[in-house]
Amino acid sequence: MKKTLIATTALIGLCAGPALAETIGISIPAATHGWAGALNFHAERTVERLKAANPDLDFVLTTTSDPGQQVSDLEDMVATRNIDALVVLPFESEPLTAPVQRIAESGVWVTVVDRGLSQEGIENLYVAGDNDSFGRTAGKYFADTLEDGAKVVVMRGIASTVDNERVAGFQAALEGSGIEVLAMDHANWNRDNAFNLMQDYLSRFPEIDAVWAADDDQAVGALAAIEQAGREGEMIVVGGAGMKEMVDRIRNGDKAVPVNVTYPPSMISTAIEMTALGLTGAAPMSGEFILTSELITPENADKFYFEDSPY
């Protein structure tokens, strides 16, 4: 099902734009947490760059913090801006499916990012991170480096399908490794919650070898709690998503944070660029583009460090 589409020669298409201006609507969640903040950062940067490179392209960028508002935004885009293509990161899959389907049926090119719609075959292009691989990569690292019988605690995110897929991938990778998962609780992708949860884990378990924080904001909270309890050096913390502070610690060889797993917010750039290519170029662009989660190690960390990004 997941055909990976590789667009190598497609950049040429950008230079050969048609005479008529094309409008691309972009609808993404508001910058209410670090990852979404970076998503906004990359979206704005890409829009500016594409506008400069291609005067025939016009963009409408909206951000929302709830699904209802996002539906209204989409309606406004179609009604008042007459968009030719839509790049949408659905706030929630179910409520957005029907509105996006209507837009697709009216002949607008639709690119769906990250969170899929609940019905197949609506979008022309699907660009997403791989949640299973996000969990699996971290799990595989644990299975490869930790000893048999090592004890791991897990901090889950907000209860959601994204979180479920990640945890399933993590558990699948640990299977048969002899690593024991002591507990799994939700820290809701939040530093403060993670700090409290880690404090409680530390008073509950005298022996912990590794923490899968499943997100870098959570890793920040976990590390602070470990330091407070004076138990540095006992355990490693693996977060995820590639926050620049964490990448920095990795490239400096920090023992507590040996690796990280990517879930790049810059995937919005991939989606916008491929949509622009689909509109303006002759190269085929429909299909699925799944970005595998990569393991960030001290060796390759420089590649994942973005100085200007807010995340």
Query: Closest by alpha carbon to 130, among 4, 270, 263, 239?
Result: 263
Burial call 162-186: b when 16+ CB within 10 Å, e when fewer: bbebbbebbeebbeebebebeeeeb
Kindly state whether residue 89 participates in binding other proteins, applying the rule CB under 8 A.
no
Query: Closest by alpha carbon to 27, among 126, 79, 96, 106?
Result: 96
Tell me how far, at minimum, the Cβ of 123 lies from other proteins, in Å.
26
Tell me how far, at minimum, the Cβ of 81 lies from other proteins, in Å.
23
Kindly state whether residue 224 participates in binding other proteins, applying the rule CB under 8 A.
yes
Kindly state whether residue 91 participates in binding other proteins, applying the rule CB under 8 A.
no
Kindly state whether residue 199 participates in binding other proteins, applying the rule CB under 8 A.
yes
**Unique residue bearing structure tokens 């993404």:** 28
Interacting span for other proteins (CB under 8 A) from 3-11, 138-146, 194-202, 292-300: 194-202
Kindly state whether residue 310 participates in binding other proteins, applying the rule CB under 8 A.
yes
* Structure-block tokens of residue 247: 């990448």
Kindly state whether residue 40 participates in binding other proteins, applying the rule CB under 8 A.
yes
The answer for residues whose C-beta is within 8 angstroms of residue 182's C-beta and 6 or more apart is 151, 152, 153, 201, 205, 208
Do the Cβ atoms of 52 and 70 come closer than 8 Å? Answer: no
Kindly state whether residue 203 participates in binding other proteins, applying the rule CB under 8 A.
yes
Among 4, 72, 82, 228, the residue binding other proteins under the rule CB under 8 A is 228
Kindly state whether residue 109 participates in binding other proteins, applying the rule CB under 8 A.
no
Kindly state whether residue 70 participates in binding other proteins, applying the rule CB under 8 A.
no
Tell me how far, at minimum, the Cβ of 30 lies from other proteins, in Å.
7
Kindly state whether residue 197 participates in binding other proteins, applying the rule CB under 8 A.
yes
Kindly state whether residue 36 participates in binding other proteins, applying the rule CB under 8 A.
yes
Kindly state whether residue 200 participates in binding other proteins, applying the rule CB under 8 A.
yes
Kindly state whether residue 37 participates in binding other proteins, applying the rule CB under 8 A.
yes
Query: Closest by alpha carbon to 285, among 273, 296, 297, 267?
Result: 273
Interacting span for other proteins (CB under 8 A) from 87-95, 126-134, 223-231, 290-298: 223-231
Percent composition of the chain: helix, strand, coil (DSSP 3-state, to 5):
45, 20, 40
Kindly state whether residue 33 participates in binding other proteins, applying the rule CB under 8 A.
yes
Kindly state whether residue 93 participates in binding other proteins, applying the rule CB under 8 A.
no
Query: Rounded to an integer, what distance in angstroms lies between the CA atom of residue 101 and that of residue 32?
Result: 27
Interacting span for other proteins (CB under 8 A) from 66-74, 188-196, 255-263, 267-275: 188-196
Kindly state whether residue 159 participates in binding other proteins, applying the rule CB under 8 A.
yes
Kindly state whether residue 280 participates in binding other proteins, applying the rule CB under 8 A.
no
* Structure-block tokens of residue 273: 């660029």
What count of other Cβ atoms lies within 10 Å of the Cβ of residue 96? Answer: 22
Kindly state whether residue 140 participates in binding other proteins, applying the rule CB under 8 A.
no
- Count, residues near other proteins per rule CB under 8 A: 38
Burial call 38-63: b when 16+ CB within 10 Å, e when fewer: bbbbbbebbbeebeeebeebbbbbbb
The answer for residues whose C-beta is within 8 angstroms of residue 224's C-beta and 6 or more apart is 195, 198
Positions that interact with other proteins (CB under 8 A): 30-34, 36-38, 40-41, 156, 159, 183-186, 190-192, 195-197, 199-204, 217, 220-221, 224, 228-229, 245, 309-311
